[in-house]
Amino acid sequence: MLQQTRAEVVVPYYRRFLRAFPTVQALATASEQDVLRAWAGLGYYARARNLLRAAREVVRRGAFPATAAEWRRLPGVGQYTAAAVASIAFGQDELALDSNVLRVGLRLVGLKASPAEAAARRAVEAALRAILPAGRAGDFNQALMDLGATVCLPRAPRCEACPVRDWCRAYHRGLADRLPLRRLAPPRPHRRFVAALVRDERGRVLLVRQPSGGLWGGLWTLPYVPGTSWRQARPALERLVGVPLHRDHLELTFRHTFTHFHATFRVVGARTRKVPGGGRFASPNRPTLPLPAPVAQLLRRLPSGAESSSGR
């Protein structure tokens, strides 16, 4: 859960998740839909699917892996997670190098480089491995993580309170708050989509399940396709839901920022006289299907009832 998400956001989700799936066996036997529902709101749903696949693999093997190399064979486990778990939980002499530890390392070594440079990363890795205390790598890694989270902060490092100040080259050279060098992130592109808001006579909303691997893969959303106008998007939307759609008056805009782009969804009210072949109708206020958090919020703020009206 902590991959990509801050700890204070994760805590309530983590507690709920452990109540729902208290053991690796409980998780391994859960359905993907149940796991996605428990994850809903955290985003980056590939993590939830990987966690489920990893739990099934652990149960199939009969035990958790112990070494970093074995951990890396589980879905969703990269070099950092494998090293962190192997060192903290299994006492292996592994260095866990995430972006915070890399920043601390670049300052300690005093390298005028960006964390994105592979050579700089290799240099930090070599320097930290050289001082990794055998048998205490878990403590060493956690100390560096804590240092990065509480003292050696990205923008304003608190050198006056730092326990490793004496050994820090960046501090001694007066470079602490100028390192690491920053690279400007490329601007996020903007993509536009048209979504259909189709309601049945009970006011329930038509949702479709997103294919695995796409945006919000495996979760349920309003049917949407790339495009800017209803006229342009309608044929693809009709193919998606399997019935002809007729526009009504409702129209609103919904924006969301994904990791790599900003998205604007033009949500257009639509009616159909037939039963849609794709998707399911769900109550907008209490949908029982796993929805991405922004879609759940959108449904909650829809005008109520089967009859829709204009609005933003």
Report the nearest approach of ligand SF4 to the CB of residue 151 (Å): 5
Nearer to ligand SF4, 155 or 273 (CB): 155
Q: Does 270 bind ligand SF4 (CB under 6 A)?
A: no
CA proximity to 141, closest of 155, 128, 154, 127 = 128
Nearer to ligand SF4, 159 or 208 (CB): 159
CB 236 within 8 A of CB 227: yes
Report the nearest approach of ligand SF4 to the CB of residue 128 (Å): 12
Nearer to ligand SF4, 71 or 171 (CB): 171
**CB-based contacts of 72, cutoff 8 Å, min separation 6:** 78, 79, 82
* Crossing angle of helices 137-150 and 99-109, rounded to 10°: 90
Number of residues that bind ligand SF4 (CB under 6 A): 15
Q: Long-range contacts for 114-122 (Cβ within 8 Å, ≥24 apart)?
A: 114/180, 114/181, 114/182, 114/183, 115/180, 116/183, 120/180, 121/97
Residues 107-126 that bind ligand SF4 (CB under 6 A): 107-108
Nearer to ligand SF4, 51 or 175 (CB): 175
Q: Tokens 């929805």 sit at which residue?
A: 291
Nearer to ligand SF4, 96 or 263 (CB): 96
Beta bridge partners of 254: 265
Residues 141-200 that bind ligand SF4 (CB under 6 A): 151-152, 157-159, 162, 164-165, 168, 170-171, 176
Joined together, the tokens standing for residue 30 give: 């859960």
- The footprint of ligand SF4 (CB under 6 A) covers 104, 107-108, 151-152, 157-159, 162, 164-165, 168, 170-171, 176
